[in-house]
């Protein structure tokens, strides 16, 4: 008996020392550094026929392609390379849904490109029902869906006008019985003027013309968190929250005070800490998630994406006079890494 315990202890100690010697650091997929890797991108943009113009930088005339050839190297471990066929097999007969704003659309398109280019002969079909886009891989019976819901909570047309209801989440009807859900909301919370799609904001019984946007954001996230706690069965559905996808409109934050946007950026920052720090909205997300009863994983893309000032469409997105886009990401590009991490998290 004693020697059995000693044996187990011995193995335990050896494993611990082995880990310490082998990696030196704890594995964290979300901390690390970008390294140049000629085997990237995971797909050539021209092999994915359904990339929207908005994200199709090479087709829109972007000449540099160095930004495509970087791999995320997490601290203390390696990411397993994305295997689309394996992914499709794992999700055979199942469904995946991204819910959120255009950053969700960016990630949804990235994943469908990664899957399509891994199984180019597999038949697919794209349809749209209301606000939900449905990408079906027929041979695998896999559905990869996108529900456009920029606030997650409801915006309702009433007599007084459009009301953003921080406590109401009827939209959640569409999210039940899905095998994997990836939520996101942030970018629309600071919209004002003609770009703001509501006239009033409702919290409890109070209807206001406006309020502190960070507090509104936190209230809405809490409503969403309660919805998840009430409606999700963790044995059936995996739930993720895509963290804050950062924009690059002010070079001061990446140590280039002269830069007014991301247009001339051709390389990532090859360090592990972004000089400008983390966006405060991420702190709000982490705080809400930490109070939840059901397991929700933060797909914490902020750190790694902050370093990718080179990854945005800039003038090679929709273009035009208002078309300087340093918020979305070129495809192929940074969201492929978000999905590669997502894949590693479900392995």
Ligand X SMILES: *[C@@H]1O[C@H](CO)[C@@H](O)[C@H](O)[C@H]1NC(C)=O
Which residues between 24 and 63 bind ligand X (CB under 6 A)? 31
Give least dist CB 238 to ligand X, A: 22
127 binds ligand X (CB under 6 A): yes
Range list of H helices, 126-212: none
Q: At CB < 8 A and 24+ separation, what contacts does 250-253 make?
A: 252/276, 253/277
Q: Between 298 and 318, whose beta carbon lies closer to ligand X?
A: 298
Nearest distance from C-beta of residue 149 to ligand X, angstroms: 19
Smallest gap from Cβ 227 to ligand X, in A, equals: 25
Q: Is 168 in the site for ligand X (CB under 6 A)?
A: no
- Shortest separation between residue 29's beta carbon and ligand X, angstroms: 12
Q: Which stretch binds ligand X (CB under 6 A): 11-19, 237-245, 287-295, 302-310?
A: 302-310
Q: Which of 116, 187, 248, 328 is catalytic?
A: 328
User: Which residue lies nearer to ligand X by CB, 278 or 292?
Assistant: 278
Applying CB under 6 A, the site for ligand X has a residue count of 15
Pairing of β 180-183 and β 95-100: parallel
| Least distance in angstroms from the C-beta of 199 to ligand X | 28
Q: Is 102 a catalytic residue?
A: yes
Applying CB under 6 A, which of residues 206, 252, 280, 293 lies at the interface with ligand X?
Answer: 252
Q: Does 306 bind ligand X (CB under 6 A)?
A: yes
Tokens of 229: 């706690």
Q: 313 vs 34, 61, 109, 249, CA distance in Å?
A: 19, 10, 15, 12
Q: Which residue of the set 102, 104, 133, 253 is catalytic?
A: 102
Map residue 320 onto helix, strand or coil.
coil
Nearest distance from C-beta of residue 249 to ligand X, angstroms: 7
Cβ-proximal residues to 129 (8 Å cutoff; 6+ apart), any chain: none
- For the chain, the first-to-last Cα distance in angstroms comes to 36
Does residue 287 interact with ligand X by CB under 6 A?
Answer: no
Tell me whether residue 154 is one of the annotated catalytic residues: no
Site stretch for ligand X (CB under 6 A), options 82-90, 170-178, 215-223, 268-276: 268-276
Examine the residue annotation and report whether 327 is marked as an active-site residue of this protein: no
Under rule CB under 6 A, residue 92 binds ligand X: no
Residue identified by tokens 């594995």 is: 27
Q: What is the DSSP string of 39-63?
A: T--SS-GGG-TT--GGG-TTTTT--
Q: What DSSP string runs through 237-248? A: -EEEEE-PPPP-
Phi, psi of 93 (to 5 degrees): 75, 10
Using CB atoms within 10 Å of the CB of residue 344, give its burial: 0 to 12 exposed, 13 to 18 middle, 19+ buried: middle
Q: Does 128 bind ligand X (CB under 6 A)?
A: no
Among 60, 75, 250, 344, binds ligand X (CB under 6 A): 250
Instruction: DSSP for 254-282, please give it.
Output: GT-TT-SSSTT--S---SSS-TT---HHH
Cα(24)–Cα(314) distance, integer angstroms: 39
Q: Which residue, 136 or 203, has its beta carbon nearer to ligand X?
A: 136
Q: Mapping DSSP to helix (H, G, I), strand (E, B) and coil, where does residue 201 land?
A: strand
260 binds ligand X (CB under 6 A): yes
Q: Which residues bind ligand X (CB under 6 A)?
A: 31, 125, 127, 134, 136, 250, 252, 260, 272-274, 278, 303, 306-307
Q: Which residue numbers are catalytic?
A: 102, 325, 328
């Amino acid at each position: 008996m004693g020697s059995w315990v000693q044996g187990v202890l011995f193995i335990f100690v050896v494993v611990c020392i082995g880990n310490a010697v082998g990696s030196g650091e704890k594995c964290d997929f979300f901390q690390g550094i970008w390294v140049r890797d000629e085997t990237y991108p995971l797909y050539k943009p021209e092999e994915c026929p359904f990339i929207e113009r908005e994200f199709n930088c090479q087709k829109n005339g972007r000449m540099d392609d160095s930004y495509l050839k970087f791999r995320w190297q997490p601290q203390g471990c390696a990411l397993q390379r994305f295997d689309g066929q394996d992914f499709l097999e794992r999700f055979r007969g199942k469904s995946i849904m991204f819910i959120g704003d255009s950053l969700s659309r960016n990630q949804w398109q990235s994943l469908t490109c990664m899957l399509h280019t891994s199984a180019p002969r597999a038949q697919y079909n794209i349809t749209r029902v209301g606000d939900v886009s449905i990408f079906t891989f027929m041979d695998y019976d896999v559905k990869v869906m996108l529900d456009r819901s920029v606030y997650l909570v409801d915006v309702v047309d009433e007599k007084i006008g459009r009301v953003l209801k921080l406590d109401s989440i009827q939209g959640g009807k569409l999210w039940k019985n899905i095998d994997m859900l990836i939520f996101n909301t942030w970018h629309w919370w600071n919209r004002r003027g003609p770009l703001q799609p509501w006239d009033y904001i409702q919290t409890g019984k109070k209807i206001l013309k406006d309020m502190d946007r960070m507090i509104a954001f936190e209230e809405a996230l809490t409503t969403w968190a309660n919805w998840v706690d009430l409606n999700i069965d963790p044995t059936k559905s995996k739930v993720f929250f895509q963290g804050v996808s950062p924009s690059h409109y002010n070079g001061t934050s990446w140590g280039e005070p002269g830069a007014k946007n991301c247009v001339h950026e051709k390389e990532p920052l090859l360090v592990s800490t972004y000089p400008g720090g983390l966006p405060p909205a991420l702190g709000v997300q982490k705080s809400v998630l930490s109070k939840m009863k059901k397991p929700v994983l933060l797909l914490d893309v902020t750190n790694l994406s902050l370093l990718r000032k080179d990854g945005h469409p800039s003038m090679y997105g929709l273009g035009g006079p208002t078309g300087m886009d340093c918020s979305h990401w070129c495809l192929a590009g940074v969201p492929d890494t978000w999905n590669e991490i997502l894949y590693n998290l479900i392995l």
